[in-house]
């Protein structure tokens, strides 16, 4: 899925912003910070807007992550949001925030099904901030239904934060692996240290399911570094014993 940028012209390996007979060079690769900066500068020059004021989605992301609202979130939430913002930026960053429609967000969610619900939460946060700061009038992410995640109701973000900060360590480890891999309980409890190779966790086939490889996100890596290696399996109870599925 691509969101086209208006007035961008490619000549050989070079890109230009061409409008009303004038041409401005765009340095870097499309979607790169320098490219977006040059694009915003050229766009604002034609609109008569002082440089530094931009309605590109990348510009709004930068303003949001530098805002008191974002900085007021817990460290865990900021890290989690940043992971997904870095996935969203290359696709939506060059587009004007006014051109982003609900259809674009839904299509992006379909392309990233495992992380779809969290992507929607991040879109809502960024676009909600834009509404509150009079950049746009309507948040297009509002009203997009979350993908069903089984019979269990997902924990709200504040509850996750409280659990991760207050629960016993051996329970935090289990929740962290489940939260940041998206795997079911039986696979989470059975994962071994030697299942991790080059920053990727391999989950073997289980009860008719397919085997899965999941990248170790920075937040999960930070938790894994705190777990003592008392067993071949990563997760153990408070006495260092392997978990039994029916007891968790």
Output the tens digit of pLDDT for each of the chain's 248 residues. 445 677 888 888 888 888 767 788 888 888 777 787 788 777 767 665 444 445 788 888 988 999 999 998 888 788 888 888 888 888 888 788 888 888 888 888 776 666 778 888 899 999 999 999 888 889 999 988 877 654 455 667 777 888 888 888 888 898 889 888 878 788 888 889 999 988 888 887 666 556 778 888 888 888 899 999 888 999 988 888 887 765 55
Spell out the residues 6+ positions from residue 150 whose beta carbon is closer than 8 angstroms to its own. Answer: none
Q: Report d(CA 112, CA 105) in Å as an integer.
A: 11
Nearest to 11 by CA among 187, 76, 169, 24: 24
The answer to whether the beta carbons of residues 159 and 152 sit under 8 Å apart is no
Residue 148: C-alpha distances to residues 89, 113, 116, 128, 241 (Å): 25, 11, 11, 23, 33
- pLDDT given for residue 1 in this prediction: 45
3-class DSSP assignment, residue 42: helix
Q: Report d(CA 110, CA 107) in Å as an integer.
A: 5
- Which helix H or strand E contains 24, and what residues bound it? strand 22-26
- pLDDT given for residue 64 in this prediction: 92
- pLDDT given for residue 245 in this prediction: 63
- pLDDT given for residue 247 in this prediction: 55
Residue 155: C-alpha distances to residues 41, 132, 196 (Å): 42, 26, 27
- pLDDT given for residue 50 in this prediction: 42
């Amino acid at each position: 899925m691509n969101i086209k940028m208006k007035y961008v012209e490619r000549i050989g390996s070079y890109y230009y912003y061409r409008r009303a007979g004038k041409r401005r060079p765009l340095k870097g690769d499309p979607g790169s910070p320098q490219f977006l900066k040059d694009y915003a500068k050229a766009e604002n020059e034609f609109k008569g807007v002082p440089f530094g004021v931009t309605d590109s989605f990348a510009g709004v992301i930068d303003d949001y992550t530098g805002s008191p609202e974002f900085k007021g979130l817990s460290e865990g939430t900021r890290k989690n949001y940043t992971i997904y913002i870095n996935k969203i930026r290359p696709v939506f960053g060059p587009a004007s925030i006014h051109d982003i429609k609900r259809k674009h967000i839904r299509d992006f969610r379909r392309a990233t099904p495992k992380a779809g619900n969290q992507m929607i939460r991040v879109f809502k946060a960024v676009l909600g901030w834009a509404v509150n700061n009079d950049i746009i009038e309507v948040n297009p992410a509002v009203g997009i239904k979350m993908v069903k995640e089984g019979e269990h109701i997902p924990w709200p973000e504040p509850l996750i934060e409280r659990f991760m900060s207050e629960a016993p360590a051996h329970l935090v480890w289990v929740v962290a692996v489940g939260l940041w891999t998206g795997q079911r309980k039986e696979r989470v409890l059975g994962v071994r240290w030697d299942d991790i190779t080059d920053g990727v966790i391999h989950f073997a086939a289980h009860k008719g399911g397919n085997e899965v490889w999941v990248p170790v996100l920075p937040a999960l890596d930070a938790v894994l570094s705190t777990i003592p290696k008392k067993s071949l399996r990563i997760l153990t109870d408070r006495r260092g014993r392997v978990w039994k599925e029916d007891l968790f």
